Amino acid sequence: MTLSLYPPETSEIPVALLKDLSDQQFGDLYSCDRFTASVLANRFRYIVDNMCGQLISQAFSPILRDYTDLSAALTGPPSIRHAMPAVAQSLPLFFGSIPEGARGALEEYGIDQLVDGDVIIVNDPYRAGTHVNDVCFIRPAFVDGEFIGALTIRAHMLDWGGKVMGGFTLDKGSLYEDGLVVAPELIYHAGEPVRPMFKMIRDNTRFAPMVLPDIETINACLKAADDQLSETYVRYGQDAFVGAMRYACDASAETMQQAIAELPDGDYRGEAKLDSNGLGAAETALHAKVLIRKRGPNIEFDFSGSSAATPSSLNCMWAEAKSAVVIATKWLVDPKTPYTSGASRSIDVLVPPDTFMNPSPPLCSNLYWVPMHCMITAIMRALNPVLGEDAVALDSGDSILHVGEGLTEGGEPWFVPAGGVLHSLPWGATQSGDADSGQLSLYLNLVWSGDEPSEADQPYVVLNRDYRADSGGPGQHRGGAGSVVDTLWLEAGNHRAFAFMSDRSDGGGVSGGSPGAPAGAWLLPPASTAEVADGVFLPNTLPSSAYAEAVPMYGTFDPETNELDAVNGTYHLALHPVAGERGTILRSYCGGGGGWGDPFRRPVDAVLADVRNEYVSLEGAALDYGVVIEGDPHHDPEGLRVDPEATARLRDR
Amino acid sequence: MSTEPFAPPAESQMIGVDVGGTFTDIVKIEDGKILVSKVPTDASSSDTSVLQGVAEVGADDAGVFNLASTAGLNAVITRDTPKVAFLTTTGHRDMLDRGRLGRPWSALTDPHWRREFGDTGRPLVERYLRRGINERITGAGQVLLPLDESQARSELDVLRRCGVEAVAICLLNSYVDPTHEQRLQELVAEVLGDIPCSISSEVSPLTKEYQRAMTTLVDVVMKAKYSDYTDRLSTGLEKLGFDGVFNYSDCAARLLPADYAMERPYRLVVGGPAAGTAASAHFGAQIGDSQLLCADVGGTSCDISLVRDGEPWLNSTFELEHDLHVNALSTDVVTLGAGGGSIVWVNPTGEIRVGPESAGAHPGPACYGQQGDRPTITDAAVLIGILDPDSFLGGKFPLRADLAEKAFDDLQSPLPLSQRIDYAWRMGINNVAEGMVNICVRHGLDIREFSLMAFGAAGGMMLPSLLQVLPIRRVIVPPHPGLFSALGLLSTDQVYSDHRTSYRLLDDQAAEPLDLLFSSMEDGLRAQLGRGAEGATVHRSFDGRLFGQSFETPFVPVPNAPIDADALAKMIEDFHRVYGERNGNTFPYIPVQGVTYRVEMHVPTDKVTHPPLPTSDLDPTPDAATNLRHLDTEPGPAAVYYRTSLHAGQRIVGPAIVREELSTTFAPTGTEVKVGEYGELIISTSGDQS
């Protein structure tokens, strides 16, 4: 089945490139002049950005206030098929699903049933994508009874019921275990809270004292944005208002089409895998396969042949397939322009039914971003060879997810939600240069407050966040370095930690560059952390004996030593929460980003600087870059010397 | 020369100096008159430019010398810094590479984006000079690991061998317990000798390690840059006969005596833009207008800020470049790419765009004839007829209209020339208008309640046209708009301040510790002020949040009295009020948590007073006429007036142009200009003379 997710949003297709339209043609198409169209397109964007910014600064739950797991969007009236001229620049994760959620909810509920001040919510993943914790709050905007568009905030609710606190776990076999599912229904009516809905939420969430004020704040943000939107409509009139919405979408459709058109026509294949389906070891690995058919300005992404849907948390919905495709496409060919729903107009996506990117009810999509990231990886692998110098090396893999909970010595519950022990993730290098080590997944963007605010009220101490030497993928431009994060737990509790793209050795570098180092995590028992009490920090590389005593959480390990061994090791995933005593250390490595270009072409001075800065070891410089350096990088960083003859011998080989 | 914190006698002469990237502006108040001087800034030694300009107006009779400088900012953003090392808790040195992780929204889907101050960009401290020290204090203030002095000495030995010139120290949770930082500072002195060293628990004892570290780093860079600079200026001023009080202006345009300023010089990192807001607040008070949008339109950008109820709107942090944060109390200034030199270009879908790229001073707009071939707003103003090519900068710098026209002709656009110019002009104005709407929206303010103070060389030229697109009350072009920011340096008080962080629920148990905290901060300030404390007023505030929130609501007032149950109740009540005003909803049932507490002591200082202008009942006679071209809304002739010939009370109907030596004001059709009591030009929509 080819599912075209992108029906034309405009009935009138521009007769020429937008820049070549005469004033008369422009006015005929968009019912306003060029000037007004650009003014309004810009205003739509900052109305949604402000709505998002306001919520971030006023939210209560850590998942919103600290990890900004939210987005916002404006969608138009039915006459333009609810096209989305503006989406907040906070979180690309929801690019695909947020307009689908809004459009579907409004049509299902019935716009004629709605009045000014209403807000409807929906979180059914089969309707609105992502997972049940991500609730869409949709406020229809009216002027004189006329529906002019809708404002939507999609925000992760800290807890929404379901089998585990906070929601994140591997083994949710169905949506019924995931939490409360709400079809489009009113939560505010004419500005007033709908009490039964609030009561139902209160009785289903474990954190009502945070979740309910979050909802009130969301309503205030929607109202403020509605006021600005309505004022804009009144000032510019319906024709210009709607015309500008169409213009904003057409403009991004055009830039995307032109970027696609520049790719050579052809069929391109790519593949990526998840280490496991979350229920077992390596034999349960999930594969995303994509065949990209590119013809002129059109492109189709066909995921036929991908793995079947899984009875675990590792499915994503068709809406995420759309997000994966548009994020990867923006990333690779049209990175600079703001996203609108128009950007996906010439893109088709085929997701076969009952695959892990298009499951059937009641399967669950609790960890939806993981399959999505896998799809993005497959697309990058398919298109990178076509892009030549413009290829983008792969990032380090998926975000590491840790959740901890337990009781304090005093008997009080503690809970560290997903994202609490945040890892920065390194990116892949590009022709522009080396990649940053401290970045976020390409589908995330948030403002991180550091470790101190968490340590002020959470039971852990972050001992280490150092970048690891030799972890960035070697290349003429080096991939970002992976980091080690060591957290010392001041209370006993249970820990879950997982990542599913822990190893990029099957292809992470581009244009001759190499992949970054693999990821992994261990829970080190207090016995092996006794040196902490003696005032000695854990070095980035521990003796084998320390790993042998540790509980491996995820990664490809030597089964004897528990040390990472991506080549000969065995993939292991701790399927269930692991208990840790007070004084336990969670050590996690995130992988490195891929390199761009032949590492032997990296300037010797750049390698010397890498060694001085401990991004590359003396051994790594010789082995990966063919540069022989002498000296002691840590104790005499400015005394390092390159051996030119030995370097020439290595590089000439 | 003295840096004693005393207000000079009322009759004293005052000098204000604003060191900008291109020009240094000097204003002197002498016998109630305003003397001005403008000299080019020598970027390599701006103190020379300052002294040169001051010599022109004379310093021997001045009681105060107030300076705002961009020297520190330029050092940071150009990385023209000494060799600095950074010491932090082992395992955390890469905080200076990560920042707060987020990328700018313009780079949301851009794999080529790199953090400007990160290790792949232009780091302030290379990674090998960022050293980990074995120690650890928890968030609750317990010593998990004692400071390992021998390991610290070994790390400092490495830095000594590397010849570092300054050291910044930020250990984890040092805002709770500073002892490890203090001891480490002693070790730095022992091993590295007498070099600048800043510790975060002194510079900015606030939570969030990255911002505190960056603030400390900027502080030590400023120490290294400014201590010699201050000495050279002091010596130079003495040679010019100056024996008054030398103040620096901080990021909120408050005056700090030079010695006091040098204790925590990060506060000076961005001195200039806040001065314009201070000038607006001060002049607004003189003309009875306390709700102001302030716009300083210069060559490269337009700085927008707010004055509400007579007070500049402040922030608790300042961003020098994307995510490079300094915890400096600062005037909230938003910079838009909409200055006279902002470049006009055409985007791929054919839209005419303006800025943020600027032609700067070199090559400058095409009409400058300095090989600039891209059109700018100034070029549009020349072609429209607003700027007179022959009288620009008093005729010292004739402009080339032919080159301006060629630059617009060369744009790749299907639009005819007139429409290109019309769109460019309107887009430049629209950028400012949308910027202002956006600021008011973000702060929850109604733009209709605000007047717009328009200054900077291009403020009067561009901003009155905003009346055609925004429902602002009126536009005010103050006297000396081109030097208005420098006048702001003669418009504020000396301020001594301190702040601390302590997470604390505001309940019954909070009264005693908070009372202690405020009194200890105030005792410290009194000790610093000595006799000067006698005339000072005390201002307390706190940054708080609803329990569970992460971001604070800043600047909630605190009663200036012992903190007891009543005072706490008032703090909580005020928190909910301020929260409601800022955010549009309130949660009175959620407990309030105090985070940061501030005390300021304001020492009243003499300020500039603008002299009144002679009045006239007669409407002025135009001094010349011009023909406005290319603007859809402005066909035909416009009267031209010289500002020096205008009198208070006179009215002019737009379209009209008012010229003065360093600036031009353009009142478009549909507006009316009234000359105010002090010579300010008040432009409003015709028939709406509010």
The C-alpha atoms of residue A96 and residue A369 are separated, in whole angstroms, by: 12
Residues in chain B with CB shorter than 8 Å from the CB of A456 are 139, 207, 503
Distance from CA of B102 to the nearest CA of A (A): 5
Cα B152 to Cα A633, B188, B209, B220, B295, distances in angstroms: 17, 9, 20, 20, 50
The C-alpha atoms of residue B468 and residue B465 are separated, in whole angstroms, by: 6
The C-alpha atoms of residue A165 and residue A417 are separated, in whole angstroms, by: 9
How confident is residue B54, by pLDDT bands cut at 50, 70 and 90? very high
The C-alpha atoms of residue B573 and residue B578 are separated, in whole angstroms, by: 9
The C-alpha atoms of residue A22 and residue B30 are separated, in whole angstroms, by: 59
| pLDDT of A332 higher than 70 | yes
At A435-473, the pLDDT tens digits run 999 999 999 888 888 999 888 888 999 999 999 999 999
Say if the Cβ atoms of B101 and A440 lie within 8 Å.
Answer: yes
How confident is residue A32, by pLDDT bands cut at 50, 70 and 90? very high
> What average pLDDT does range A598-624 have in this prediction?
98
Sequence length of chain A is 653
The C-alpha atoms of residue A515 and residue A511 are separated, in whole angstroms, by: 11
The C-alpha atoms of residue B211 and residue B34 are separated, in whole angstroms, by: 41
The C-alpha atoms of residue B690 and residue B678 are separated, in whole angstroms, by: 17
Say if the Cβ atoms of A440 and B103 lie within 8 Å.
Answer: yes
At A344-369, the pLDDT tens digits run 999 999 999 999 999 999 999 999 99
Q: Which domains occur in chain B, in start order?
A: 13-75+226-269 (3.30.420.40), 81-225 (3.40.50), 270-339+423-492+607-690 (no CATH), 342-422 (no CATH), 494-603 (3.30.1490)
Got the DSSP string for A490-529? SS-EEEEEE-S----TTS--BTT-------EEEEE-GGGG
Please choose, from the candidates A301, A323, A371, the residue with its C-alpha nearest in 3D space to the C-alpha of residue A3: A301
pLDDT at position A528, please?
60
Say if the Cβ atoms of B415 and A23 lie within 8 Å.
Answer: yes
**From the CA atom positions of chain B, what is the Rg in Å?**
26
| pLDDT of A531 higher than 60 | no
Nearest CB to B351 within list A38, A327, A436? A38
pLDDT at position B681, please?
97
Sequence length of chain B is 690
Strand pairing class (B671-675; A119-122)? unpaired
The C-alpha atoms of residue A111 and residue A124 are separated, in whole angstroms, by: 19
Burial (CB < 10 A; 0-12, 13-18, 19+), residue A112, is: exposed
How confident is residue A137, by pLDDT bands cut at 50, 70 and 90? very high
Residues in chain B with CB shorter than 8 Å from the CB of A457 are 139, 503
| pLDDT of B253 higher than 80 | yes
Say if the Cβ atoms of B442 and A53 lie within 8 Å.
Answer: yes
Residues in chain B with CB shorter than 8 Å from the CB of A59 are 549-550
pLDDT at position A532, please?
52
How confident is residue B9, by pLDDT bands cut at 50, 70 and 90? very low
At A56-113, the pLDDT tens digits run 878 888 778 777 889 999 999 999 999 999 999 788 999 999 999 999 999 999 999 9
Which tokens sit at A337?
């322009």
Give the residue from B86, B94, B101, B420 with the most A CB atoms within 10 Å of its CB, the best one to mutate: B101
Residues in chain A with CB shorter than 8 Å from the CB of B209 are 450-452
Distance from CA of A97 to the nearest CA of B (A): 17
A624: amino acid identity, one letter: D
Rounded to two decimals, the pTM is 0.90
Give the residue from A537, A582, A586, A590 with the most B CB atoms within 10 Å of its CB, the best one to mutate: A537
Which tokens sit at A267?
């069929």
Q: Which domains occur in chain A, in start order?
A: 43-162+174-241 (3.30.450), 261-390 (3.30.365), 391-599 (no CATH), 603-651 (no CATH)
pLDDT at position B690, please?
46
The C-alpha atoms of residue A330 and residue A252 are separated, in whole angstroms, by: 11
Cα B146 to Cα A33, A345, A527, B93, B188, distances in angstroms: 69, 61, 21, 18, 17
Residues in chain A with CB shorter than 8 Å from the CB of B327 are none
Report angle CA A306, A309, A315 to the nearest 5 degrees. 100
Say if the Cβ atoms of B94 and A451 lie within 8 Å.
Answer: no
Say if the Cβ atoms of B585 and A60 lie within 8 Å.
Answer: no
Say if the Cβ atoms of B101 and A43 lie within 8 Å.
Answer: no
Distance from CA of A531 to the nearest CA of B (A): 11
Got the DSSP string for B522-572? HHHHHHHHGGGGGG-EEEEEEEEEETT-SS-EEEEE--SS---HHHHHHHH
Residues in chain A with CB shorter than 8 Å from the CB of B551 are 56-58, 65
| pLDDT of A551 higher than 50 | yes
How confident is residue B585, by pLDDT bands cut at 50, 70 and 90? confident
φ/ψ (deg, to 5) at B88:
-145, 175
Say if the Cβ atoms of A486 and B91 lie within 8 Å.
Answer: yes
The C-alpha atoms of residue B197 and residue A506 are separated, in whole angstroms, by: 48
Max CA-CA distance within chain A?
81
Cα A595 to Cα A436, A481, B248, B252, distances in angstroms: 11, 10, 48, 45
Say if the Cβ atoms of B158 and A637 lie within 8 Å.
Answer: yes
> What average pLDDT does range B420-434 have in this prediction?
91
| pLDDT of B64 higher than 80 | yes
Q: Which of A234-248, A520-534, B77-91, B276-290 has the lowest mean pLDDT?
A: A520-534
How confident is residue A150, by pLDDT bands cut at 50, 70 and 90? very high
How confident is residue A537, by pLDDT bands cut at 50, 70 and 90? low
At B65-82, the pLDDT tens digits run 999 987 788 788 888 899
Cα A508 to Cα A511, A593, A615, distances in angstroms: 10, 7, 18
Which tokens sit at A384?
């990178």
Q: Are A510 and A592 in contact (CB under 8 A)?
A: no
> What average pLDDT does range B406-419 have in this prediction?
92
Distance from CA of B2 to the nearest CA of A (A): 42
Element (H, E) at A298: strand A298-302
> What average pLDDT does range B318-347 have in this prediction?
88
- Residue A82 is classified by DSSP as T
How confident is residue B320, by pLDDT bands cut at 50, 70 and 90? confident
**Residue the block writes with tokens 């300021």:** B600
pLDDT at position A401, please?
87
The C-alpha atoms of residue B169 and residue B85 are separated, in whole angstroms, by: 8
A349-358, A504-513, B35-44, B295-304: range with highest mean pLDDT: A349-358
| pLDDT of A597 higher than 80 | yes
Got the DSSP string for A555-566? EEE-TTT--B-T
| pLDDT of B4 higher than 80 | no
ipTM above 0.90, yes or no: yes
The C-alpha atoms of residue B525 and residue B534 are separated, in whole angstroms, by: 12
pLDDT at position B11, please?
46
